[in-house]
Amino acid sequence: MNSSFNKLLTFKILIIVLIISIFSANFLFIQRVDALSDSRQLVLDAWTLVNEGFYDPEKFDEIQWKRIRQKTLQKQIETSEEAYSAIEDMLRPLDDPYTRILRPKDYELLKSSNFGSEINGVGLQLGEDDDKVVVISTLGGSPAEEAGIVSGDYIEKVDGISSEVLGLANTASKLRGEAGTKVLVQISSTSGEIREVDLERRSVDLRPVRTKRLRDDSHTIGYLRITQFSESVPKKVEEALQELKEKEVEGLILDLRNNSGGLVSSGIAVADTLLSAKPVVETKNRNGIKDAIISQKETSFDGPMVTLVNKGTASASEILAGSLQDNERSILMGEKTYGKGLIQSLKSLGEDSGIAITVASYLTPKGNNIQGQGMTPDKLLDLPDASEYGSADDKWVRNAELFLESLLEKEKDSVQTIELSSEEIKS
Residues 6 or more apart whose Cβ sits within 8 Å of residue 108: 352
Q: What amino acid occupies position 32?
A: R
Distance CA 256, CA 226 (A): 6
Q: Are 318 and 360 in contact (CB under 8 A)?
A: no
Residues 6 or more apart whose Cβ sits within 8 Å of residue 412: none
Verify whether residue 340 is a known catalytic residue. Answer: yes
285 to 48, 260, 291, 345: CA distances (angstroms): 17, 22, 11, 12
Choosing from 142, 326, 347, 361, which is the catalytic residue?
Answer: 326
Q: Tell me which residue of 277, 393, 385, 397 sits closest to 329, measured CA to CA.
A: 277
- Residue 411 CB neighbour total at 10 angstroms: 14
Backbone phi, psi, residue 30, to 5°: -60, -40
DSSP state of 330: S
Distance CA 210, CA 388 (A): 12
Verify whether residue 217 is a known catalytic residue. Answer: no
Distance CA 212, CA 394 (A): 14
Choosing from 163, 266, 315, 361, which is the catalytic residue?
Answer: 315
Q: Are 108 and 121 in contact (CB under 8 A)?
A: no
- Residue 31 CB neighbour total at 10 angstroms: 10
Distance CA 384, CA 330 (A): 23
Give the strand pairing for 154-158 and 132-138.
Answer: antiparallel
Verify whether residue 198 is a known catalytic residue. Answer: no
Residues paired with residue 184 on neighbouring β-strands, in sequence order: 198
DSSP string, 303-329: S-EEEEE-TT--THHHHHHHHHHHTTS
Distance CA 197, CA 144 (A): 9
Q: Can you state the angle between helices 264-274 and 233-246, rounded to 10 degrees?
A: 20
Q: Are 245 and 263 in contact (CB under 8 A)?
A: no
Supply angle C-alpha 208, 309, 232, rounded to 5. Answer: 20
Distance CA 113, CA 135 (A): 17
Q: Are 213 and 241 in contact (CB under 8 A)?
A: no
The residues annotated as belonging to the active site are 315, 326, 340
